[in-house]
A and B are shown apart, each in its own frame.
Chain A
């Protein structure tokens, strides 16, 4: 069966520091991969998605970037965090364009 991992689970970072969140999927090949952010009490905002290694599409202009160095690895990065980057970051995968399967999430607090 397929599983999706995210780490770290929680992170507290100062403003201006770098960020690296990692997501890996097991048990499937060539998945579509997604990064979402969820602000408190808000819906899911799609940040990036990828349909293959090295293929990244950005949905919202921001100071975040994503990379997919391996088939089942998706990384969310920032060179300098802003206060507004605080939130709950979710990685998801799908094997087509229908159902998405989410990871446990990373709660990021920027101080």
Chain B
């Protein structure tokens, strides 16, 4: 069956450190992978999209890698700040030209000042 697994439910880090989140998937052949941020009681907000032929993508302090051989994406928040505290979700498309996304359960990041 298809599965998306994100590492440990919660990640606590010190301000200024780098947070690294993992997204592993099985029985998917995604054309792209996305990361979203969700604050408590709010809808997810799109952060980054990386395509299957891209190894790495950056946006400000965020960096995403995508390894289709390992079936894994890593999401890094560098120089973390308390404002980065949120739940981060990874999402995969369900196949070529499919309008649907499958989401992981998310990893909650808490950045301590």
A14-22, A61-69, A103-111 - the one binding chain B: A103-111
Number of chain A residues close to chain B: CB under 8 A:
25
A-to-B contact residues, CB < 8 Å? 32, 34, 41-44, 46, 49, 51, 59, 88, 90, 92, 94, 96-105, 107
Q: How large is the interface on B (under 10, 10 to 19, 20 to 34, 35 or more residues)?
A: 20 to 34
Complexed CA–CA distance, A88 and B40 (Å)? 11
Known: A42-B105, A43-B89, A97-B93. A105 touches B41 (CB 8 A): yes
The chain B residue with its CB closest to the CB of A51 is B99
Q: Is the beta-carbon distance between A97 and B97 smaller than 8 angstroms?
A: yes
Q: Is the beta-carbon distance between A100 and B101 smaller than 8 angstroms?
A: yes
Q: Is the beta-carbon distance between A92 and B43 smaller than 8 angstroms?
A: yes
Of the candidates A32, A44, A94, A101, the one whose C-beta lies within 8 Å of that of B89 is: A44
Q: Is the beta-carbon distance between B99 and A44 smaller than 8 angstroms?
A: no
Give the shortest distance, in Å, between B59 (CB) and chain A (any CB). Answer: 13
Residues of A near B41 (CB, < 8 A) are 88, 105, 107
Of the candidates A41, A44, A94, A107, the one whose C-beta lies within 8 Å of that of B44 is: A44
Q: Is the beta-carbon distance between A43 and B103 smaller than 8 angstroms?
A: yes
Q: Is the beta-carbon distance between B97 and A100 smaller than 8 angstroms?
A: no
Complexed CA–CA distance, A90 and B45 (Å)? 12
